[in-house]
Structure 1
Amino acid sequence: MSSSTDELTTADSAAVAALPFTVAVTADAARPDGSSIHGDLGLQRLGEHGISWSVLPSYTDPVPLADLDGVHAVLSLGHIAFDARTVDHAPDLRLIARFGAGYETIDLEACTRAGVVVTNTPDAIRRPLAVAGLTLLLALSHKLLAKDRLTRTSDWARREHYRGAPLVGQTVGIVGFGSVGAELARLLAPLGMNVVGNNRSGRHAEAAGLGVELLGLDELLERSDYIVLCAALTPATEKLIDAAALARMKASAYLINIGRGKLVDTDALRDALRNGRLAGAGLDVFEPEPLLPDDELLSLDNVVLSPHSLCWTEDFTRDVAASALESILAVAAGERPANVLNPGVFTTEAFAAKQA
């Protein structure tokens, strides 16, 4: 956390209250009273600093322009689109604070031109998301879903058919090796597993210290026994794991996706699982979301599923909400927040005009 936001936490609230500031909370994950599917967001903090807030009147994507009239900041709890049409016609809007790390539905270039700062919460989500990846890996390796079902149906005689897969000496390939991947590598270290990674730059400051070798994607797919997808969704990464990529993987390998559903060609994944060309998959994200009731993934014994919420823990909500609120308080006080996704915005005339 930056020093400016540390200072703001203990600053005199009257100094912030002197600046009229209104926050809108998206209705995709919040109710009119401010309660949310994530738990308590701590929105009372805004009121304590003289900042007014309200939940948008409806879950509409994109947000109706009229709903942004007089709004200085949006706390975006989900993945509502903020495109050029929206931000260009929201003259009061100064900040979009994302609750979480992903921002693929926000047009950063349009926000920069419009003088709108965009922030996310990468530090707060790093550990919960890494733990989610580890959870799926362990569940798959121990055939936990099948064993749970055998126990519930008193079918103990078939347990011999569900022996766990090894961990020690096995290779975990992390695709999109960044802060979450580095955290996952730290969690895996005591298990005696080898970790390799892949990212766009081919570099990461912590990789060498963690004993992580950075590889090209094809080599990672061929060497790994468990593959964890942590990559951000961009045009370049959509369907990154397609039929050709799946064909490079070992038939004994497991695919884990904690990034975005669109990173995987789901039709190709179903085919690989159905035909035994992949040992199994652990999925917290999908395309589409939610899955259709007749989706084959729901009936496969070698797939562990979670409804895009595996990292939703009490500490996740506390830390992510605190980080997003710090961004709002910083901008309301005329300070630069941490975790800015479009730092070029600070040099634009549009930004300067909104601060005048």
Structure 2
Amino acid sequence: MTVKVHVKNNRWAEGSFPNTPEGEEVFTITRERFDTAQTQHPDVVGKLDPFIDWDTDNWQNSMADAEVLLTWNMPTENLTQVAPNLKWIHCIGAGVEHMLPMDWLPDSVTLTNNKGVHAAKAGEFGLMAILMLHSHMPAIVTNQRKGLYESLYCSPIAGKTVVVLGTGSLGGSGAKMIKPLGVNVIGVNRSGRDVEGCDRCVPTAQLDEVLPLADYLLIATPDTPETRGLLDRRRLDLMKPTAGIINIGREAVMDYDALCDKLDAGSLGGAILDVFDPEPIAADSRLWDTKNLIITPHVSADDGDAYIPLTLGLFFQNMELFLAGKPLLNPIDPKLGY
């Protein structure tokens, strides 16, 4: 017996995923990529029957006997009837907010995500962004646009305080990379659990206490009912007027309009934003013209060369567990949304 695996790729479409034409190649799971990755996991070779599809071209027919779905998104209506044999869905993204609320997910189906695949790249981006803020790069870029040559100096970053909001694989990797530079790192997570790379961690309920301490704030939380609107105008007002902010989590976590107001007023030092809703950003968005703001097009955690190989490596590791009847890595709690 073989396990039927349906692989749902998405063609690029404006306002959807992938969010740019370039992303389509990066995030597409071809049969060649699937087979190449599978050879690294001999325990699953010959035990799978993959069907590689685009969008919903063959959704109904293929899902009728599929046990596993590998995808970014999918039609959720009547899933039990459409896919009566389905047991496991693996999302190729770390965030699964696009699947909320998860009242459509049958109790018999396990949903897993790509947590961990992005860690190395996201950590490097976080380190880079913090150092860019420390070196006044958002202000320097703003000055460049104006044709203004002004010396903006800084000292080494040792002794500064970085608050990491969301200490999962992305934020945790950033914390570990910045800590060796002599920075004081405070982690903020749901429970206040200790995390490698952080000098101390506090629960989210104590966020107001640590925001005033931050020279730089790295936001790396998923979009969940608990995190939406977490960085509102009131909390932004708690921060030092010289502080810098980086968001590699999701836009829904922060009030971008309030952020723009503070940047334009000079009551924050600068910001680097990598995540937006919708993506791409609208041409008339005020973000484009906000001073001391650098925009990156959702590239902080995605490796253009290795994203799919890394994804498939995790998928086949989980497939080994699936075939053995063992619990899977990265299970999503439908109630929490992560």
* TM-score between the two structures when normalised by the length of structure 2: 0.79
Do the aligned residues in 2 keep the contact of 1:175 with 1:199 (CA within 8 Å)?
yes
Larger RCO, structures 1/2 (Cα 8 Å, 6+ apart): 1
Do the aligned residues in 1 keep the contact of 2:192 with 2:201 (CA within 8 Å)?
no
Counterparts of 1:177-256 in structure 2, within 5 Å, are 177-204=167-194, 206=195, 210-214=198-202, 216-256=206-246
Q: Hey, what's the Cα distance between the residues in 2 that align with 1:59 and 1:275?
A: 47
Do the aligned residues in 1 keep the contact of 2:138 with 2:272 (CA within 8 Å)?
no
Task: Between 243-252 and 323-332, report the one with greater CA deviation.
Answer: 323-332
How far off its partner does 1:86 sit?
3.5
- Map of 1:119 onto structure 2: 112
Q: Hey, what's the Cα distance between the residues in 2 that align with 1:276 and 1:91?
A: 57
The structure in which a higher percent of residues are helix is 1
Do the aligned residues in 2 keep the contact of 1:125 with 1:320 (CA within 8 Å)?
no
The structure 2 residue matched to 1:140, chosen from 129, 133, 149, is 133
Letter in 1 for 2:4: F
Cα distance change of structure 1 residues 312 and 343 upon mapping to structure 2, 3 Å threshold: closer
Is 2:84 aligned against 1:91?
A: yes
Is 2:65 aligned against 1:70?
A: yes
Letter in 2 for 1:73: V
Letter in 2 for 1:72: E
- Map of 1:158 onto structure 2: 149
Counterparts of 1:248-267 in structure 2, within 5 Å, are 248-267=238-257
Do the aligned residues in 1 keep the contact of 2:142 with 2:292 (CA within 8 Å)?
no
- Map of 1:339 onto structure 2: 330
- Map of 2:49 onto structure 1: 52
- Map of 1:318 onto structure 2: 309
Do the aligned residues in 1 keep the contact of 2:262 with 2:268 (CA within 8 Å)?
yes
Q: Hey, what's the Cα distance between the residues in 2 that align with 1:188 and 1:272?
A: 26
- Map of 1:19 onto structure 2: 2
Do the aligned residues in 1 keep the contact of 2:187 with 2:198 (CA within 8 Å)?
no
Do the aligned residues in 1 keep the contact of 2:3 with 2:67 (CA within 8 Å)?
no
- Map of 1:7 onto structure 2: none
How far off its partner does 1:244 sit?
0.5
Q: Hey, what's the Cα distance between the residues in 2 that align with 1:86 and 1:24?
A: 16
How far off its partner does 1:265 sit?
1.2
Q: Hey, what's the Cα distance between the residues in 1 that align with 2:108 and 2:100?
A: 12
Cα distance change of structure 1 residues 213 and 330 upon mapping to structure 2, 3 Å threshold: closer
SS of corresponding position for 1:222: helix
- Map of 1:105 onto structure 2: 98
Do the aligned residues in 2 keep the contact of 1:81 with 1:105 (CA within 8 Å)?
no
Matched residue pairs, number? 314
SS of corresponding position for 1:281: strand
Unaligned runs of 5+ in 2: 11-16, 40-44
Cα distance change of structure 1 residues 126 and 57 upon mapping to structure 2, 3 Å threshold: closer
Letter in 2 for 1:310: S
SS of corresponding position for 2:227: coil
SS of corresponding position for 1:24: strand
Q: Hey, what's the Cα distance between the residues in 1 that align with 2:155 and 2:80?
A: 50
- Map of 1:350 onto structure 2: none
Cα distance change of structure 1 residues 179 and 46 upon mapping to structure 2, 3 Å threshold: closer
How far off its partner does 1:300 sit?
3.0
Aligned-residue CA RMSD (Å):
3.4
% identical equivalent positions? 27
SS of corresponding position for 1:294: coil
Letter in 2 for 1:68: M
Letter in 1 for 2:79: T
Unaligned runs of 5+ in 1: 1-17, 345-356
Q: Hey, what's the Cα distance between the residues in 1 that align with 2:155 and 2:229?
A: 27
- Map of 1:37 onto structure 2: 26
Cα distance change of structure 1 residues 137 and 52 upon mapping to structure 2, 3 Å threshold: same
How far off its partner does 1:241 sit?
0.7
Do the aligned residues in 2 keep the contact of 1:261 with 1:288 (CA within 8 Å)?
no
How far off its partner does 1:203 sit?
1.9
Q: Hey, what's the Cα distance between the residues in 2 that align with 1:330 and 1:214?
A: 34
Cα distance change of structure 1 residues 135 and 87 upon mapping to structure 2, 3 Å threshold: farther
* TM-score between the two structures when normalised by the length of structure 1: 0.75
Q: For each residue in 1:252-293, what CA deviation from the matched residue of structure 2 results, as whole angstroms up to 9, or x when unmatched?
A: 011111111111112111111111121111111012222101
Cα distance change of structure 1 residues 67 and 145 upon mapping to structure 2, 3 Å threshold: farther
Q: Hey, what's the Cα distance between the residues in 2 that align with 1:194 and 1:108?
A: 37
